Structure 1
């Protein structure tokens, strides 16, 4: 199935069940969803899929960089990609977040995710 331009989210989460839940939430919000279990895999998806408009990443991620560093790299290389950072273990100081990124504490309400996506100006089609 081809990906919808402007409606592709990348979920970077190392816990399989949490990753599937996040993918379901974003899928219900109208996104095609790609899933990565490591930060290198997430970067590879971003390089291969310029249609990605949203990165949804956990802070604690395996790889040479964590999810927060991934978010900063995405902001540097793909400035137009919207970023939602989530964690149930750490709460980053707002100054640690890339410009325009949002933080969401786990466990999160699916309705809050959908509302945050709309507030960020993303309008996926269902």
Structure 2
């Protein structure tokens, strides 16, 4: 279940190029009551972000195909939509929360639901 401090329904844009990983993350978030929008690349996510105003959290992998990786996407989101909470994940790159723009959070793969929900709650707070 999602953290009680996060209003649900809460809209999450999940950006993950591995379809099985994305599907499992979407199921995890939907089961917790979140509204979920999916994108397979940073480029696709950027198009979605420009056309919607209801996204509360960006949950993105770092390494993806295309011209925009997850870290670049998070930087753009921090610049254009500072109200969107940023949570970055990776199984290859190791970051700290301080590496994530705009007081975002890093969650290493493989992750558990509680880690992700906690990161959503803490993202955007210094």
State the distance in 2 between where 1:108 and 1:94 align.
15
Q: Is 1:118 the equivalent of 2:115?
A: no
Question: CA offsets, 1:46-79, max 9 Å, x none?
Answer: 1111100000000101111211011000100111
Pick one of 92, 102, 107 that aligns with 1:104: 107
| SS at structure 2 position matched to 1:11 | strand
Query: Is the Cα contact below 8 Å between 1:72 and 1:98 reproduced in 2?
Result: yes
| SS at structure 2 position matched to 1:65 | coil
Gaps of 5+ in 2: 1-7
Cα distance change of structure 1 residues 79 and 33 upon mapping to structure 2, 3 Å threshold: same
| SS at structure 2 position matched to 1:30 | coil
Quote how far apart the aligned CAs of 1:24 are: 1.4
- What residue is the counterpart of 1:16 in the other structure? 19
- What residue is the counterpart of 2:42 in the other structure? 39
- What residue is the counterpart of 1:64 in the other structure? 67
Cα distance change of structure 1 residues 34 and 12 upon mapping to structure 2, 3 Å threshold: same
| SS at structure 1 position matched to 2:102 | coil
For the aligned residue pairs, the C-alpha RMSD in angstroms reads 1.9
Quote how far apart the aligned CAs of 1:30 are: 1.8
| SS at structure 2 position matched to 1:24 | helix
Query: Is the Cα contact below 8 Å between 1:84 and 1:103 reproduced in 2?
Result: yes
Gaps of 5+ in 1: 122-126
Normalised to the residue count of structure 1, the TM-score between the two structures is 0.84
- What residue is the counterpart of 1:88 in the other structure? 91
Cα distance change of structure 1 residues 95 and 57 upon mapping to structure 2, 3 Å threshold: same
